[in-house]
Structure 1
């Protein structure tokens, strides 16, 4: 059995930190809370779970805070969570099994991060992250904003999932201001910085400026493939918001330069053709998406609908438009297998059945 230090950086998380710690406190051997300036009850709540609470003066750098928390860890492995993350009962069991049986030669363990849940509680996105790392490796966090943990050596891809609660909306320009302060100081942005700065610009509706930085990022030879693919998706979003369908389609095709076509990009191409009522072209891309299989070792963004029910829903719509009700029924049935309680799919099924009978 390995021992685990849970390391967290927090600020004003009184609404979620107890939920987070309740879900994991008995599965770890040490809890380290680094507070970066809370003015609410965060620290008082945390004291119910640990006495290892430390203050860290905020210096506009998330990596600095996380690296400080890692330095305080005393156990064999370090696990990190945010205060609005939670581990449910089935995944608690998986984590306990991992703790009991992990090969100590493993340097890092990835876990799935489930975000943006739909009305039925299903995640829209799944991202793999290095969540548990060997303390003796002294891995470091990098990046002032949207920091990442740089790891090496044997990595184990676990089936453990962590749910992101995200029960509050962050509309602040904090991250954008951090990047712009760095630019004002003449800092040289890494490829990753270019990508995430562009994301912040897009999030705050500075679309033309975002396009400039996404383009700079895509032209960078050292950029990570998965970020390049994601950047194509974000660039396509920008052009979509600017109502430039030609550029939107062009950048979606460009994503194929970095890897085999991804289902989410195929679905988006299908959408563009369906909007123009070019049904056969739309069917081509939705069919393509429906036949793709996600690489479970991929560290990129997994858009759950595009790899499961969405292409079948769209194919059902396309075949209905063509009057091929049997194929429309077939694909709606497949979509229902993924979302059996979705009222829209249930109504579609009834409607298509009537057409088949007449």
Structure 2
């Protein structure tokens, strides 16, 4: 039977921490909680479950905090948990069974991370396999200052265990601030982190957020070391940015750049919104229809269905066409 150190980094998680820890009680042999600057009673709650509670001065780098936590672990394996996730029902039993039978040659066990579309997270699928359980004596360090992942080349197995992600709020403001810090420090985002920034900005960004990243995104579109996909994503975000600012020539300049490669639902939605604002309902309907049925989304899955169908409903409401309003309302319910 293997032993497991549950390692967590937390900050102001008083609303959800006990819920998480209660769900994990039977799987840990050691619980390590690292607080990165809570101002609520998170640490008090943590100390009800373990005496291994540590403080870590926040540096803006999630990997540094994760690595500090795992440095205190002493068990065979490390389970890296977040406070807004829980283990439920049969999944608890499956984890307990895994502890009994896991081959010690295995370095990493992947588990399903579920309920990801709740609260509008940056993911476009409701569940995915993630590396969650790691052998401690295998040299493991987390990398990337945000959306951190373990930097290892391991023997990996997949399990059927599902961890439920149940956030009570979004962390978009925190995450975007971290991205600003990385970029302002002169650091270039990896392709992986660039994708996270693009999704975060598209799904959760405010007008002010777009303003703060516009210069950086324009730089991405001119960077010869960036991939075509990275350039297209940046141009797509700039289409929205310039439409919101009423800078229509600049908007169309980025539309053309996207279409020279391959159009996507997000750009079609922006064109639909633009023509709808002009009262040009025919063109608005064409672009919203294209978003829903002719192209695919690249940043937000809802761009290809919900956003586009809502746009079509608005168009046909403006035209007084109740038959088409009903048609697209029913399609929206089906999706």
**Given the two structures, how large is their TM-score scaled by the length of structure 1?**
0.66
1:211 paired to 2:214: yes
State whether residues 313 and 328 of structure 2, in contact with CA within 8 Å, keep that contact through their aligned partners in structure 1. yes
Q: Which moved more, 1:157-166 or 1:262-271?
A: 157-166
Q: Distance in 2 between the 1:173 and 1:68 partners?
A: 23
Listed one character per residue, the Cα deviations across residues 233-288 of structure 1 (whole Å, up to 9, x for unaligned) are 44334323422133234435645677x65434432332222222333333333223
Listed one character per residue, the Cα deviations across residues 19-39 of structure 1 (whole Å, up to 9, x for unaligned) are 333344445554321123445
Q: Point out where structure 2 has 5 or more consecutive residues left out of the alignment.
A: none
Change (3 A) 1:163 1:13: closer
1:87 paired to 2:86: yes
State whether residues 33 and 52 of structure 1, in contact with CA within 8 Å, keep that contact through their aligned partners in structure 2. yes
Aligned match for 1:236, one of 217, 239, 251: 239
Q: Point out where structure 1 has 5 or more consecutive residues left out of the alignment.
A: 118-122, 339-358
Aligned-pair CA distance for 1:162: 1.0
Q: Which moved more, 1:16-25 or 1:267-276?
A: 16-25
Listed one character per residue, the Cα deviations across residues 189-237 of structure 1 (whole Å, up to 9, x for unaligned) are 344678889989x869376552221122344455577765654444334
Q: Distance in 2 between the 1:294 and 1:133 partners?
A: 34
Aligned-pair CA distance for 1:176: 7.2
Change (3 A) 1:157 1:41: same
Aligned match for 1:267, one of 262, 266, 269: 269
Listed one character per residue, the Cα deviations across residues 89-128 of structure 1 (whole Å, up to 9, x for unaligned) are 5xx54575477579958654462463673xxxxx475356
Q: What RMSD in Å do the two structures reach over aligned CA positions?
A: 4.5
Match in the other structure for 1:336: 333
1:316 paired to 2:313: yes
Change (3 A) 1:38 1:324: closer
Q: Distance in 1 between the 2:25 and 2:305 partners?
A: 34
Change (3 A) 1:212 1:309: closer
1:16 paired to 2:16: yes
Aligned-pair CA distance for 1:46: 0.7
Q: Distance in 2 between the 1:59 and 1:302 partners?
A: 30
Q: How many residue pairs get matched? A: 318
Match in the other structure for 1:51: 51
Change (3 A) 1:13 1:105: closer
Change (3 A) 1:61 1:264: same
Match in the other structure for 1:142: 143
Q: Distance in 1 between the 2:227 and 2:157 partners?
A: 18
Q: Distance in 2 between the 1:151 and 1:257 partners?
A: 38
Match in the other structure for 2:62: 62
Q: How does 1:1-358 map to 2 (within 5 A)?
A: 5-73=5-73, 74-81=75-82, 83=83, 85-87=84-86, 89=88, 93-94=90-91, 97=94, 100=97, 104=106, 108-109=110-111, 111-112=113-114, 114=116, 117=119, 123=120, 126=123, 130=130, 132-135=132-135, 138-145=139-146, 147-150=148-151, 160-166=163-169, 175=178, 178-179=181-182, 183=185, 188-191=187-190, 205=208, 210-220=213-223, 223=226, 230-252=233-255, 254-255=257-258, 261-291=263-293, 301-303=299-301, 305-322=302-319, 324-338=321-335
Change (3 A) 1:10 1:107: same
Aligned-pair CA distance for 1:172: 11
**Given the two structures, how large is their TM-score scaled by the length of structure 2?**
0.70
Aligned-pair CA distance for 1:157: 9.7
State whether residues 8 and 33 of structure 2, in contact with CA within 8 Å, keep that contact through their aligned partners in structure 1. yes
